[in-house]
Amino acid sequence: MRNTLTLILAGGQGTRLSPLTSERAKPAVPFGGIFRIIDFPLSNAINSGLRRIYVISQYKAASLTRHVGKAWSHLSRELGEFVEVLHPEQRIGEQWFSGTADAVYQNIYTLEQRESEHMLILAGDHIYKMNYAPMVRQH
C-alpha cells in the first residue's frame, strides 16, 4: 500500500445540491455535523493503509482546502505520508479541467514526481465505507 498514490477528484460544482453548493464545492458540503463529504473517501483511504493522497480541486475550493488542511494534517511527512490539495494550474492549454480524465492529465507532472507502482483514483463526492486494500492488492 505504501507504493500506491491516491487521487481524489473533488472539483465538481454539484449543481443538484444547490443552494448548498453556491459557495463551495460539492465535496466540501457539511455532512453529519463536523464532517464534509470529502471525509468519506479520505477516511476510506487512510483506513485502507493509503497515506499518499492528492485531492484535485477546481470549483470554489477555498473551504475544501481549509477543511482538508485542518482535518487531515496528522500524517507524517517524514515517512512520506501526506494529504495535499492540488489546484488547477492550467499547465496544458488555457482551459480549466474539462472532466475527470483531464483533471488527472493536467496534473500529470505533479503525479510523476511521486514514484508509485499503483494509482487509485476516487470520486470526492461519494458517501460510502470501503476498504480499498484488497482491490489494490489484486492489481
Q: Per residue in 83-109, pLDDT tens? A: 999 887 655 556 666 667 777 777 778
Closest CA to 60 of 20, 31, 100: 20
What CATH number has the domain bearing residue 48? 3.90.550.10
Q: Distance (Å, rounded) from C-alpha 110 to C-alpha 59?
A: 20
**Residue 136 forms part of a structural domain:** no
pLDDT, tens only, 109-138 = 888 888 888 899 999 999 999 999 999 999
pLDDT of the residue at 26: 92
Total domains, the chain: 1
Whole-number Å distance between alpha carbons of 52 and 110: 13
Query: Would the pLDDT of 16 be above 60?
Result: yes
Does the predicted TM-score (pTM) go above 0.75?
Answer: yes
pLDDT at 50: 96
Classify residue 39: in a domain, yes or no.
Answer: yes
